[in-house]
Amino acid sequence: MKPQLLIASPMSGGGKTTFSLGLLRALQKRGMKVQPFKCGPDCIDTQYHGIAAKLDSFNLDTWMSSKTHVQYVYNTYGEQADVCVVEGAMGLFDGYNRMDGSSAELALLLNIPVVLVVNARATGYSVAPLLYGFKHFNPAVRIAGVVFNQVVSAAHFGSLRESCMDAGIECLGYLPVDDDIRIGSRHIGLTLTARRELSEQIDKMASLVEKHIDVEKLMNLCTRIFPIPYSLPYTSEIAVEAMHPVGKRRLRIAVARDAAFSFIYKENLDRLAEVGKITYFSPVYGSELPEADLVYFPGGYPELFARQLHRRKRIMQQIRDYADKGGKILAEGGGMMFLSRSLTVRKGGTAYEMAGVLPFDCSMEENRLCAGYRRSVVNGTEFRGHEYHYSIVLIPDGLSMCAPVFTPRGAEISTPFYRYKNVIAGYIHWYWGETDILKLW
């Protein structure tokens, strides 16, 4: 038995992340080992969780992986924890297809209760029917209680607490309006300075949680049996399928990891560690590409570091030489942008020279969002992932499409998924927690 909960909201912008970070840090300061998780493919919130809880956070996504695998990850990494906290995504019932892929579906799959965070700044007692609706829309989704965010006064909270009583939902407290609390832009590279500043903000959030939230009541209401039972049919061979490198020796794997390249699923790294030794390097601050059998450039924000990156002539030449000799490279999102010929960050701005491995240019001049789940079949294996970007590829020249890419509903899209020699690149961030990524080659 241990406290386990999923933090959700009626809609995006309700305050899930603020409350999640404050609760994680408050519990961590109490000397508890609290294991964070994130519903969905978000690679930014998991970094925030790691700073708050001082423990790696794991993505739980029912589109990118099987239900058995989601339960496996939750049980595996929650085993040594005192508390398991899952931050939801979007609104509680928002999925890629109605409830499919939603926070509500995940709460049912994990058999854990939901703590609903409601932005109450512009409402009072009228929140009662909203709470009643969320409680009764799908009674199998158990709402343990409500935390109100952006509360302006004690009288305001009094009205909100009465709404809970009449809706039949436990009131767990509130977070007041505090203009000193700010997470800042999500679209910012987490440099050491940014991490330190965020940690200071999380300390303020934790103080508000301790002062205004009944943490003990929350923990008691959310205590459940652990480990969670696996759903039937149980597919253990999928959850723990091993990767198979060519040959018998362990691989040398180089992973780009710094403030510009940080969109990494922790489970992906653990899977790579099964077949090789991982060496991390920094394209922003480093000057050497490690000796490697496979180089992985994850997504991130190279546009924020374009000027620094284009000055790294030595490492970019090493990357070009490695690719031209047939070295295996996987580049996703921002990683693909770094391997392009140039990157233009703003309209009329400088086209910064990049590594020049891929014969095309990237630009953020149009600043148009492209996002969603994606799947593709390569060498007979289905890969699933997610893309989220504002940049575009300009005039690809002499490249072949590695494979067609589809949405969850089966519509083919024009998302680039390219192959140049043994370089495989595209905008999609693949999840290979239960898939052999080496089958791409």
**pLDDT tens digits, residue range 226-244?**
999 998 766 654 445 567 6
CATH superfamily of 243-440: Class I glutamine amidotransferase (GATase) domain (3.40.50.880)
Contact 329, 340 (CB under 8 A): no
C-alpha 157/C-alpha 161 separation (Å) is 6
Global pTM reads 0.93
Is the model's pLDDT at 3 over the cut of 90?
yes
Pinpoint the alpha helices (H) of 250-389.
266-275, 306-310, 313-324, 334-339
User: Could you say which architecture CATH assigns to the domain 2-224?
Assistant: 3-Layer(aba) Sandwich (3.40)
Cα separation, 246 vs 441, in Å, equals: 10
> Which part of the chain is CATH 3.40.50.880?
243-440
Q: What is the mean pLDDT of residues 346-363?
A: 93
pLDDT at 387: 95
DSSP 8-class letter at 283? T
Across the range 79-108, mean pLDDT stands at 96
Answer yes or no: are the C-beta atoms of 69 and 433 closer than 8 Å: yes
The Cα-based distances of 133 to 25, 257, 400 in angstroms read 31, 44, 51
- 102-150 confidence digits (pLDDT tens): 999 999 999 999 999 999 999 999 999 999 999 999 999 999 999 999 9
Residues of the chain with CATH 3.40.50.300: 2-224
Confidence class for position 421, pLDDT limits 50, 70, 90: very high
Q: 86 CB contacts (<8 Å, ≥6 apart)?
A: 4, 5, 6, 7, 36, 37, 38, 39, 60, 106, 107, 110, 112
Q: What is the pLDDT of residue 244?
A: 66
Range 400-423 burial, b when 16+ CB lie within 10 A, else e = eebbebbebeeeeeebbbbbbebb
Rg of the chain, C-alpha, whole Å: 23
pLDDT at 209 over 90: yes
